[in-house]
């Protein structure tokens, strides 16, 4: 088989034929198909052998379509959209791992350092205590956006006061 050729058609079973019949029933109930056209398409669906025969029945119809093997699934038009805050609001980022577990890790670190010191008699395990504190709380990395916003507002307010003078 060359790259330009189409792969062999995938055979379908009773489950796919039944799904196609149910989808055609819904289209008939919605008034998208007339009785004669429904009968013709139902006959084709009942006798279909490969997935492409069923797919041809739904090319001019909206959802629902049956799930067929070998066909690319297209996201429905009603797929959930990304959540966007209303205009004027700033999206907040959800907290990471250290936001929840950071304080717990910092509180356990001294006990861990003492235990490791008693086991190994190596003093450098006590360096874990400030290292963990710096990791969790250091450098403003763990500061909340509200704190940064408050500081920014304070700077702007002070600047306006200086400008008035």
**pLDDT tens profile 31-55:** 888 889 988 999 999 999 988 888 8
Q: Which domain holds residue 117?
A: 97-164
In a domain, 89, yes or no: no
Pair (122, 160) in one structural domain: yes
In a domain, 127, yes or no: yes
pLDDT at 90 over 90: no
| Helix ranges (DSSP H) in 32-144 | 35-47, 51-57, 97-120, 128-137
Pair (120, 67) in one structural domain: no
> pTM for the complete prediction?
0.41
* Helix (H) / strand (E) containing 144: none
In a domain, 2, yes or no: no
Give the pLDDT confidence score for residue 4 in this predicted structure. 43
Q: Higher model confidence: residue 112 or residue 91?
A: 112
- What is the C-alpha to C-alpha distance for residues 80 and 119, in angstroms, rounded to an integer? 54
- Phi and psi at 50, nearest 5°, equal -120, 160
Pair (158, 116) in one structural domain: yes
Instruction: Report how many domains make up the chain.
Output: 2
């Amino acid at each position: 088989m060359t790259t330009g050729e189409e792969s062999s058609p995938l055979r379908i079973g009773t489950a796919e034929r039944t799904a196609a019949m149910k989808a055609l029933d819904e289209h008939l109930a919605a008034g998208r198909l007339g009785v004669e056209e429904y009968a013709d398409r139902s006959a084709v669906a009942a006798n279909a052998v490969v997935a492409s025969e069923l797919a041809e029945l739904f090319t001019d119809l909206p959802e629902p379509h049956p799930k067929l093997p070998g066909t690319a699934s297209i996201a429905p038009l009603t797929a959930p959209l990304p959540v966007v805050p209303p205009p004027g609001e700033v999206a907040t980022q959800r907290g990471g791992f250290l936001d929840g577990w950071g304080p717990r890790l910092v509180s356990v670190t001294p006990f861990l350092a003492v235990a490791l010191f008693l086991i190994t008699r190596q003093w450098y395990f006590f360096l874990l205590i400030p290292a963990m504190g710096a990791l969790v709380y250091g450098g403003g990395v763990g500061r909340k956006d509200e704190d940064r916003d408050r500081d920014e507002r304070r700077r702007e307010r002070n600047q306006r006061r200086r400008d008035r003078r």
